[in-house]
Structure 1
């Protein structure tokens, strides 16, 4: 982990030691009815605050991958 956290944000994407990805909406039998055309993905991994600090004043947004 010390090696991972010593990387620059440009080097991190090719060196992620672990992550957890889940799609909760795929497990919800009512999701397609309640939220047609949408799904939810959760990705968990370890990061350093500094890698994302440039967005500290940004607000959360919803993005669509349709298109």
Structure 2
């Protein structure tokens, strides 16, 4: 599924919006793979597999992610 990531300019938090589910959440934990990407835990309890990138992206960025169960 597609997810759009952005940085909150006020507090620096990484936020995600998933249009297919009309879901907005804050990323609360990241298990990094590479410079940016990996397993992202969201404030609503969802866990997403985000593709690893070699450099930190410019925000906002839309990526194909996969929801995983833990």
TM-score range relative to shorter protein: under 0.3
Larger Rg, first or second structure (1 or 2): 1
Normalising by the residue count of structure 2, what TM-score does the alignment of the two structures yield?
A: 0.25
- Structure (1/2) with the larger strand percentage: 2
Normalising by the residue count of structure 1, what TM-score does the alignment of the two structures yield?
A: 0.26
